[in-house]
Structure formats: structure tokens, C-alpha cells
Structure 1
Amino acid sequence: MGIDKSNVRFVVHYDMPKSIESYYQETGRAGRDGLPADALLLFGYGDVAVARGLIGNGGNAEQNRIELHKLNCMIGFAEAQTCRRRVLLGYFGDRLEQDCGNCDICESPPERFDATEDAQKALSCVYRVGQRFGMGHVIDVLRGSQNHRIQELKHDQLSTFGIGKQHSQDFWGNLFRQLIHLGYLEQDLANFSVLKLTEGARPLLRGEMRLELAKPRDTKVVEKKSAAKKPAYDGALFQELRELRKGIADEQQVPPFVVFADATLAEMAAQMPKDKWELLKITGVGQHKMARYGDAFLRVIRDHLEKAEN
């Protein structure tokens, strides 16, 4: 991306970069003039398989290991359930005390749950294995795997062996990634990506704080919800909302879908929200977009309803 322009408003990745360094550099082309800009990453697990295959073809084992770690970090970013700005800065060793309020996770937060006990189990297991193993091995210990490696190391005799068997591999993988993103754990790239506790993990392990984490998004449920959310909508109102969206997009010099997607406008035209609380229930409307565009769209909806009543 040899682009040296200050007014790039939109960066799209049609497949996933192989590292966060590449992604950060490429998305950094947008908004250099200080005005709002958007980045869209299209992510599929086919990309992961291709990238891993290319890395595996390399002749240098040590370099392959490093590249695979970087790819796994990029996958973790794509699957993140926490503020993506936090994930990016955390990868480079910086900490963000508050969520950014701009990314898709901040604008449409996932459902959360009290993860204190599960997080304590995870952190305790990292400690019990001596902070010398990667995520996969720690999860195997938590889930009570009887593989040869665990038996050879006598990790089946640890107090944390099998204490997390009620949860799936995916559940623990998601939880560990969130603990890494939030700064309770770090991965040592120079030492085979082993997990190590940070100072921030101590109060959590001691029970001095509670921790809420995001529930993994169930793609099947999302697909079912999306299929169900296709109500009949008011065509005239839909066109009025599109005209408003185009005016805003032209003024901000961004594509219209950056303001709201057609699906969001269609749902507005179907549900006809009357206040900000109802508007926030519309798919694609988060706190950030509510603050920027909510009043204008609610005004069009109210005017339309008043005309219909008269």
C-alpha cells in the first residue's frame, strides 16, 4: 500500500493480514488529516488455512514459529470480544485504560458474563504449570486431557487438572485471548509464546476484584437472528431515511453505508423507534452512532408518523 495521501477515508482488507504489524501499518493510511475514517476487515477461516500453509512451506523453523505466533495474534484480534483499540495497543506493549468508543465492539457490545471464577481457574493453571507453556497445553490441563505429554510432565497431578472440563476448547481459547487483551496475561514471543502472569493478575487471583468478560458470539445464533429480522418495512420511510443518510455521507465525504447500512435503515422503517432507547435496539446502532446521528434519524421518523396520522 504505497499510498501517500492525507485524505484516505476508507481502508478495506478483503483477506486477513498475516500480522498485526501489517494490519496496523495499512489501516494507518486512513484519516491522516485528522478527520473521521473507517477500516473494514473481512475475515474468514479459509484465510487462516492459506496463511498457515504458506508459513509451513518456509524452510526456517525458528522463523516459521515467529510468523505463526504473529498470525495467531492477528486471528485473536479478528476474533476479539474486547475493544479492538485495546487489543492493538496491548500487542505493542501499551495499555488503554478506557475503551475507544469507535470500534465495532464498542459500538455494538457483546453480551457479558461474570467470568471471575473461570478467569481465576485459567490464571491459576498458568501459574501451576510454571508459566512455561502455551495456551493449548494450559487448556488441555484445565479440560483434563489424558494426552501423553500431560502425563509425562505429571500435569495430571496438578490441582488445576480437569477443573475446567465443563467448558469447551473454544470457550477457554476465547477467555484466554480476552485475558491477554486486557493485560492479565502476556505471551512471550521469544520463548515459544508461553503464557505468563502480569502484575495485573494478582488482585484477580486473590479474589480482590470481579471480572466481566464478553460471551463468545454464536455465529449460528447470529445467522438465525439475521434471517428472522427481515420484517416488512415502510418503503416511503425507508427512502426518506436513505436520503437523510446520503446527505450526511456527502457532508462527511464518506460512503453512505459508513453512516448506517441499508439493513439498519430497513429495520428503522419497520420498527419506527420513537426515542433513543428504542433506536438503540436497532441492529447497527451503537452509542457512538446514536450520539452522532440519532436525533436526525428520529426526527425523520417522527415527521413521517405525523404525516401518516394526518
Structure 2
Amino acid sequence: MFFLNKIFKLRDKANPEEEKPFLDHLEDLRIMVTRVVLTLLISTLACFFYKDELMSVIRRPVEQVWVERHEATLPEKEAISLDDWENALTFAEVSAPLGQYDSGLADRWWERATDKRTRRLTEAAILYRASLKLPEDTREDFISSISDDKSEARELALKLLVSKPADNLNAEGNLRLMSSLKPTETFMLTMKLAFFAGIIVSFPFLLYFLLQFIVPGLKEKERKALWPALTIGFGLFLGGVFFAYFFVLPNVLTFFYEWGKSMGISNDWRIGYYISFATTFVLIFGLAFEL
């Protein structure tokens, strides 16, 4: 208890009318900085143990863009998710070599690996990918010529031909699997995320330690105005951060993704650049709202 009292008490000022010597102010500043550094160190280490959760949070906007952009190109009425389409493309790649090797083995694999819905989508994906190798004006005729025993796959393939989903999801850059080009990059990014999270978690303590140094030098009227201003300012800062994270950042990422795609450039974003951009972006919005 004595230790906590020493940490959280305001700096002494026995005579409010008498100014403290300069060296005493430096001592108070040293104590305040020490408390801030120790608090940040403890909070950063604590947040480091939640590195997986932190990475999921920071990657959520870019993964949202990735999923929404690809699902927008899938037939709407078929209720096909991006995971369904990825599975179908994977099964399509596996089934073709098996069929060439042993048709009976391929049939047994189909029965064990897929359900009826997935098989229909996979067969449609095979037809769709095959049609893309043909001249554009012959693709629809090719799919329509498929026999009636594959009518469900044929109809779905025709819908895919209209909506034109990507037949290779990695061709335009896989935003869910970003690259790291340095041996230490992922570790340093984890520490960076833990540090930013530590600032947010320990912000009330950091603010209190700062006020321990500032408040004794303020007049009574200034003290009364300080607390409401800090409360409102911090609320606006959080509002700006959440607004940027949930609404603005996904739209900005979508714009840059589509821009690169329209220019014929693969969106192979590096994880380090993305995290730096995302954290800076939301912090700028937070500060802008606070001002």
C-alpha cells in the first residue's frame, strides 16, 4: 500500500505561493518519466501475450476487403462464399490429375472429399476455368454444349461466366497471406503492435502520471477546466479511432486495391507496410477528431 501511495500521490507542494527550485522540478520530471516508462514496459509485455488476437484485429480491415471484393464477383443468388469458391478451385486442381490417373480412384475421392453442393460448384469451376482458355465469343457455346447429366454444373458455370470471378485468387495478390521480407520483420511488428496496444491499455495511468506533474502548477480555475477537457478529448480520440477502423479504413483499402487491379498490378502488400499504414491512419483520425 505504501508503494502504491508513493506512485499515485501528487507531487508535494507545501506552500502553493512559493515556487519550487529548478532542480526540484527536474526531479519531479524524472520521477514522472520513470513511471511512464515502467508502465509502458509492463503493459507492452502484457499485450505481447495476446499477439495473435492483436494481429487478427489489425488485419481485419484488409481481410474484409479481400473477402468482399471476391464475393462480389460470385453469383448472388447462389449464396457462394469465398471459402466455398476457394475449396472448389482446390478440388478442381486435385480432381483433374486423379481422373487422368485412375477414373475409379477419382470417383472414390469425390465421394469422400466433397458433398453434393461442393461437387456441383467444383464441376462448375472446372467448366468455367476451361472456358476461359477459349476465345471469348465461344465460351458460352462451349459450356452450353455440356450434356444434360451435368445440367446443374452447366447452369452454374454459365452464371460464373457472367459474374467472372477470379479463377486464380493469388493472381491479383493474396491480402490474407502477406509477405515478410526480413528475418526479424514479423517479430518487430509483433512488438510494435504490443506497444501500441500497451499505450491504449495503460493510457489512464499515463495520463494520471502526466497530471501528477502538471496539476500542482495550475490555478484552481485551470484545474476545474482540465478534467472535462481531458474526458471529452479522450472520448473524441477514441471515436475517431473507431470511426476510421470500422468505416474509413476498409473503404480506403478497397480504393487502393481496385486501383492497383485496374492498372493490372498485383496487390502483393507487405505486412510491415500495411500495419504501419493502418496504425498511422487510425491514429491520425483519432487526433483529428480530438482537435
| TM-score, shorter chain, exceeding 0.5 | no
The structure that has the greater radius of gyration is 2
Q: Which has the higher contact order (CA 8 A, sep 6+)?
A: 2
Give the TM-score, by structure 2 length: 0.24
Bigger strand share:
1
